Amino acid sequence: MAVKKQNILVKLIVDSREQDLSFLDKFKFDKKYSTEKIKIEGYEIQKPFKCLDSNGEIVKTSTADIGIEYSLDEGITWKKTNLAIELKKDSDFSSTIYSSWKRFSEEIKRAKEYELDFYLVYNQSTRQMHEHFDKLKSMKRIPYSASPQKVIYDRMLELGDLNVTMIYTHEIHEVLKRIIKYHIKKNKLQYF
């Protein structure tokens, strides 16, 4: 018996602690199903956002900022997935990697433990990172002798060693759409 590709209705799930939702202003939600039979119709704020682990159970501790729920019956029944997207905008990226590494690395460990489909999306360029730390040095928030950029580069390499998919972009809304569609295809969510 052949399995047929179904229409899949999707909504973004955004953690209520995500303060800056400006990326949603540019997100073009779908009015109809695409040729891929995917329709990303809108978003919902959840407090807190929790996705599924590898056993199909809701994770114990919130991990990441954005995920999805999907429906194969036009929104009657919604299902969670293991997609977890950590969004780091502007200086939040370098500040987290530099100053909050212990907390952030614990989140990465949870993502691995739960076997999440985890992505780190950020929009701070290396030039912006240097400017941010130069400003902190001039404000005497960190010593002039500090080399935060080297620390960040080393930690980014560590994230690569942990197989964290990191995507740098200024088009967060477009990257989120691609990640969602990739997740749907990779996990064959449209087939049953």
Contact between 53 and 114 (Cβ < 8 Å): yes
In sequence order, which residues have a C-beta less than 8 Å from that of residue 173 and are 6 or more positions away? Answer: 23, 24, 26, 27, 28
pLDDT in the model for residue 164: 96
pLDDT of res. 2: 54
Divide the 192 residues of the chain into consecutive groups of 10 and give the mean pLDDT of each group: 84 93 92 95 95 94 95 96 96 93 95 96 93 90 86 94 95 96 96 80
What is the structure's pLDDT at 4?
Answer: 87
Q: Which CA distances in Å does 179 have to 71, 84, 85, 143, 163?
A: 17, 10, 9, 39, 16
- Tokens found for residue 39: 């329709």
